[in-house]
Amino acid sequence: MIDARAVLSKKRAGLELERVEIEGFVGAYARGELADYFASAFLMAVFVRGMSARETADLARAMLESGERWSFELGRPTADKHSTGGVGDKVSIPLAPAVAACGVAVPMVSGRGLGHTGGTLDKLEAIAGFRTGLSRAEFERALRRTGVAFGAQTEELVPADRKLYALRDVTGLIESVPLIASSIMSKKLAEGIGALVLDVKHGSGAFLPEKERGAELARAMLAIAKSFGLRAIAFPTYMGRPLGDTAGHELEIGESLECLRGRGPADLRELVCAFGGAMLQLAGAAATEADGRVRIARALDDGSALAVFERVVEEQGGDPKALARWPDPAWKRERAPIAAPRAGWLRWTDVRALGWAIVDLGGGRRALGDRIDPFPGLVFPVREGARVERDQPVLEVQVRGARASEAVLARLRGAFAIEEQPFEPEPLVGAALEA
Ligand code: URA
């Protein structure tokens, strides 16, 4: 039996915990042998004192061992991508079918929207009938048949993370590098993948806005990957402006389809090609990342990625014929513009506010169990750094009847600035870090 108080006082004093202590504590909590107040105290001690790379890997291992560990015999390699979350980040939706079209299967256990960020599962559920609550058997069948499965964390997959995450959420203990790194990596390791690409965001729309903290998180996740022998790479990407031309569930499915048709915004395509190229290379399906990028771009342009996505939609309960109508030109009638107050150059200053505005419009959750309306969203007709004239629309609010409340409009007006001088926008992708 673990001496929980001894573990807590050791971490409270800032000392390094042994692997047996971490395993004993987390295992006992996952089995229901320790009350939530012990776990809350543990999380607070880790939040304040931090953890070494070895302790963080041991925490990920202890969480992983609390549940099932999947492995799939598919006769082809597997790879996945995980993003730390942002506004307008729909990359997984075109990426997974493009990678599958190039011969690498993608077992993708994704999340729901968290705070101001949107989640892949919620976006996919904007397609009528699309089911993401797959059992393990359904997940494996989808993967075998289409090369892709988009699923949610099941009851059996990393139950320790499920319990600890819920506690962190209500006690304000999310923004900790060892806690985020072990939480994300325990789930990715449980999927049984052969390679992993991490998209670690920084900027005003990211959970950890400072670039250096993003890099710290990337290094922590890569160190865990290394200790498990998982091939992984991390790309720092800029989330100080929204990704693509839209944010909001239906809008983002429309934009993902445009990308799968070989069109769509350049920044979205750039990330799909960069991450897809790295996934193919790490999984052994492309000689180099550059070669992988070319193959992904071809899959987007020749319709093969779109064909995989249509099969995925059908397999997971949606109607692929419905996709031809997206994005619907009639949505344009339901949009209210927000104009530039003067002439100058557009800079996004608070991307988090854009995400919260979508939540305010009903397109996100304030509390667990809230229903999401997939229709509301934002359209970004002007790229950051571009010249705008006075009264030119820089943002469009999509909401039924084009009627957004004054509070939402005020929030949105505070999310950008019009600069007097031209400036060079931050690059989208930084130098990759490897395990
Ligand atoms: N996503 C996760 O899965 N875990 C975290 O701790 C933060 C984001």
Domain of 392, CATH number, reads 3.90.1170.30
For residues 59 and 178, the answer to whether their CB atoms sit within 8 Å is yes
Please indicate, yes or no, whether residues 260 and 350 belong to a single structural domain of this protein.
no
Please indicate, yes or no, whether residues 119 and 181 belong to a single structural domain of this protein.
yes
Question: Does the residue 75 lie in any domain?
Answer: no
Report the distance separating Cα 371 and Cα 359, nearest Å: 11
Instruction: Name the closest-CA residue to atom 5, ligand 1.
Output: 180
Question: Does the residue 428 lie in any domain?
Answer: no
Closest to 305 in 3D by CA, of 270, 269, 252, 260: 260
187 tagged catalytic:
yes
Contacts for 272 with CB less than 8 Å, ≥ 6 apart: 91, 94, 95, 98, 259, 296, 300
| Torsions phi, psi for 235 (to 5 deg) | -110, 120
Distance 167 CA to ligand 1 centre (A): 12
Distance 163 CA to ligand 1 centre (A): 12
Give the domain CATH number at 39: 1.20.970.10
Q: Ligand 1 pocket test: which of 64, 110, 165 has the largest number of ligand atoms within 8 Å of its C-beta?
A: 165
Please indicate, yes or no, whether residues 207 and 99 belong to a single structural domain of this protein.
yes
Residue that is last in its domain, among 304, 325, 346 = 325
pTM for this predicted structure? 0.94
352 tagged catalytic:
no
Question: What separation in angstroms does the CA of 16 have from each of 37, 44, 56, 430?
Answer: 21, 15, 10, 33
Question: Does the residue 264 lie in any domain?
Answer: yes
For residues 252 and 238, the answer to whether their CB atoms sit within 8 Å is no
Q: Which atom of ligand 1 is nearest to the CA of 84?
A: 8
Report the distance separating Cα 408 and Cα 209, nearest Å: 23
Which residue type occupies 149? A
Q: Which atom of ligand 1 is nearest to the CA of 168?
A: 6
For residues 211 and 202, the answer to whether their CB atoms sit within 8 Å is yes
Please indicate, yes or no, whether residues 16 and 86 belong to a single structural domain of this protein.
no
Distance 184 CA to ligand 1 centre (A): 5
Please indicate, yes or no, whether residues 319 and 338 belong to a single structural domain of this protein.
no
pLDDT score at 92: 98
Question: Does the residue 88 lie in any domain?
Answer: yes
Per the structure, the count of domains in the chain is 3
Question: What separation in angstroms does the CA of 311 have from each of 107, 144, 282?
Answer: 15, 12, 25
Question: Does the residue 399 lie in any domain?
Answer: yes
Q: Which atom of ligand 1 is nearest to the CA of 180?
A: 6
Please indicate, yes or no, whether residues 352 and 312 belong to a single structural domain of this protein.
no
Residue that is last in its domain, among 325, 357, 386 = 325
245 tagged catalytic:
no
For residues 432 and 198, the answer to whether their CB atoms sit within 8 Å is no
- 364-371, Cβ contacts within 8 angstroms, sequence gap of 24 or more: 364/113, 364/116, 364/118, 365/112, 365/113
Instruction: Name the closest-CA residue to atom 2, ligand 1.
Output: 184
Q: Which atom of ligand 1 is nearest to the CA of 85?
A: 8
Which residue type occupies 213? R
DSSP string, 311-367: HHHHHTT--GGGGGGPSPGGGGGGEEEEE-SSSEEEEE--HHHHHHHHIIIIIS-SS
Please indicate, yes or no, whether residues 275 and 245 belong to a single structural domain of this protein.
yes
Please indicate, yes or no, whether residues 186 and 305 belong to a single structural domain of this protein.
yes
Per-block average pLDDT, block size 10, for the chain (435 residues)?
Answer: 95 98 97 96 98 97 96 95 95 98 96 85 96 95 97 92 89 90 95 96 94 95 96 98 98 98 98 98 98 98 98 98 93 96 98 96 83 96 98 97 93 98 97 91
pLDDT score at 260: 98
Question: What separation in angstroms does the CA of 421 have from each of 238, 343, 388, 417, 418?
Answer: 21, 10, 12, 12, 9
Radius of gyration of the chain (CA): 22
Q: 311 is in which domain, residue-wise?
A: 80-325
Residues with CB under 6 Å of ligand 1 are 111, 165, 174, 179-180, 183-184
Give the domain CATH number at 284: 3.40.1030.10
pLDDT score at 282: 98
The one catalytic residue in 183, 186, 204, 256 is 183
Please indicate, yes or no, whether residues 261 and 383 belong to a single structural domain of this protein.
no
Question: What separation in angstroms does the CA of 89 have from each of 38, 197, 258?
Answer: 36, 15, 14
CA 363 to chain centre: 17
Instruction: Name the closest-CA residue to atom 6, ligand 1.
Output: 180
The one catalytic residue in 116, 123, 168, 269 is 168
Q: 204: which 2 tokens?
A: 């005003």
- Strand runs (DSSP E) across 137-223, as ranges? 148-152, 195-202
Instruction: Name the closest-CA residue to atom 3, ligand 1.
Output: 184
**Which secondary structure element, helix H or strand E, spans residue 396, and what is its range?**
strand 393-398
Closest to 206 in 3D by CA, of 196, 224, 218: 218
| Torsions phi, psi for 105 (to 5 deg) | -80, 150
The one catalytic residue in 161, 199, 245, 373 is 161
Report the distance separating Cα 384 and Cα 63, nearest Å: 41
| Torsions phi, psi for 129 (to 5 deg) | 90, -15
Distance 174 CA to ligand 1 centre (A): 8
161 tagged catalytic:
yes
Question: Does the residue 198 lie in any domain?
Answer: yes
Please indicate, yes or no, whether residues 231 and 295 belong to a single structural domain of this protein.
yes
pLDDT score at 37: 97
Q: 89: which 2 tokens?
A: 């980040």
Question: Does the residue 20 lie in any domain?
Answer: yes
The one catalytic residue in 82, 241, 249, 295 is 82
201 tagged catalytic:
no
- Strand runs (DSSP E) across 71-159, as ranges? 80-83, 106-110, 148-152
Please indicate, yes or no, whether residues 129 and 160 belong to a single structural domain of this protein.
yes
Residue that is last in its domain, among 303, 325, 347 = 325
For residues 345 and 418, the answer to whether their CB atoms sit within 8 Å is yes
The neighbour count for residue 59, using CB atoms within 10 Å, is 29
Question: Does the residue 42 lie in any domain?
Answer: yes
Question: What separation in angstroms does the CA of 142 have from each of 91, 227, 313?
Answer: 20, 30, 10
Please indicate, yes or no, whether residues 221 and 301 belong to a single structural domain of this protein.
yes
